[in-house]
Amino acid sequence: MKTLLFIFVTLLATCHGDVLNHVHEHGSNFKIFPLRMKTGSGGHYIPEVSCASWRLGVEAHNIIDWKTVPIECENYVGNYVLGDQYRADSKFVNREGFYYARTVNVADDGKDIWVFDIDETTLSNLPYYAKHGFGVNPYNDTLFNEWVDLGAAPALPETQKFYNKLLNLGIKIVFLTGRPLKQRDITAKNLKKVGYHTWEKLILKDTTLYHGKTAVTYKSSERKKLEEEGYRIIGNIGDQWSDILGTNTGSRTFKLPDPLYYIA
């Protein structure tokens, strides 16, 4: 048992830095092992194709309106989000965002902005999912909001690096999240605590105004308001397709990986 615990803690310490340290601190009901391999003919090892293909379908938006991760893919998803590949994928997307951003001729009027989603884009909820399951359980509004109200979500490290680079380029930051207005104070506190110290606007969802509306409708409407105020959305990044679809999406959009849940 001590050996297994050592292996698990070692995995957490080496894969995701601060994010995984939070997973360890908050506890986890799930044991994470290296991605399982199956033996093919002649003793050659082949990957578990079905779950990898399912994740590709999700990220490419070929699989939509799904409610939970297939139960047979829970370990796969858990290992992915706690492993090196998730960090590498996040780094790649943010790097491409920076390559684009540095080509922009930033104006002197302070109206060039980059829109960031929050959950699984700037802040990570991996400690929550490590405790409650990697997307196989239906969304529990009460439990998730209890986690948000702790203000303990760590920063996604590659996004945070990108955020700092954008500030250095003179680009203003706008956070646009589906979190409700009542979580404004704790969200602002959480962002500042983990290093997101500066922003132009922090927009949370007015659940009365947008009751029954999709995330695409909500975020499109809020981006339209920004442009009506004279802002130019030069970039837009999120983990959900609903973050970057719709109207007023900006000059370029960037999709971060997230096989944990789907928001329409």
Quote the pLDDT of residue 156: 98
Quote the pLDDT of residue 21: 59
Radius of gyration over alpha carbons of the chain, in Å?
A: 19
pLDDT single digits (tens) 144-196:
999 999 999 999 999 999 999 999 999 999 999 999 999 999 999 999 999 99
- Domain assignment present for residue 71? The answer is yes
Quote the pLDDT of residue 25: 58
Count of the separate structural domains present in the chain: 1
Look up the CATH number of the domain holding residue 237.
3.40.50.1000
- Domain assignment present for residue 262? The answer is no
**Residues of the chain scoring pLDDT < 50:** 1-15, 32-47
- Domain assignment present for residue 168? The answer is yes
- Domain assignment present for residue 55? The answer is yes
Cα–Cα distance measured from residue 198 to residue 24, given in angstroms and rounded to the nearest whole number = 29
Q: Which domain holds residue 220?
A: 2-255
- Domain assignment present for residue 116? The answer is yes
Angle between helices 84-101 and 157-168 (to 10 degrees): 10
Three-state SS annotation for 206-263 = CCCCCCCCCHHHHHHHHHHHHHHCCCEEEEEEECCHHHHCCCCCCCCEEECCCCCCCC
Quote the pLDDT of residue 56: 96
Quote the pLDDT of residue 9: 37
Q: Which residue has the tokens 């680079």?
A: 165
Quote the pLDDT of residue 34: 45
pTM value? 0.86
- Domain assignment present for residue 260? The answer is no
Quote the pLDDT of residue 27: 52
Quote the pLDDT of residue 29: 53
- Domain assignment present for residue 110? The answer is yes
Q: Report H helices in the chain.
A: 2-15, 18-26, 49-59, 74-81, 84-101, 126-132, 141-148, 157-168, 184-193, 215-228, 241-244
- Domain assignment present for residue 264? The answer is no
